[in-house]
Structure 1
Amino acid sequence: MLRGRAEALRQLAEVAQYFQRTEPHSPVAYLVQRAIKWGHMPLEVWLEDVIKDGATLGHLKETLGIGTDTDTGSGQGS
């Protein structure tokens, strides 16, 4: 039984090592390592890592209300 996020990520690292050792030609190890990296990222940083198109990233952040200067709630400009 897993006892927390850190333990789950450690176990994923063991899984990645297994696939690197036993199936070095397989993309599984690389994908698991990427999932571990993403598991340590806050949402905004993860979005920046995954979405390379600036316009798409900007629209998504605006929709989610994250990472913008206009989400401070100052009420100016209305």
Structure 2
Amino acid sequence: IIEELRVEYEGRAAVLFIDVWKHPEQGARFGVQGIPTQIFYDAGGREVGRHVGFLDKESIRDTFAKLGVR
């Protein structure tokens, strides 16, 4: 889902996947407590949303829309 969204939103939103098993320091850096965790940032780099657990593609699209990503 993340890879599909990365392609779909290219040039409009940065969609990144970090494998915290391979990069545990990044998990600590972003305060990841459970896997998967989706963290949403606004254009200024401020965290505006966080979800722990599975999140379907449509829910992620809805969050992007609420953040003004078209």
**TM-score bracket relative to the smaller structure:** under 0.3
Q: Name the structure, 1 or 2, with higher relative contact order (CA <8 Å, separation 6+).
A: 2
TM-score norm. by structure 2 comes to 0.26
TM-score norm. by structure 1 comes to 0.25
Higher-strand-fraction structure: 2
Greater C-alpha Rg: 1
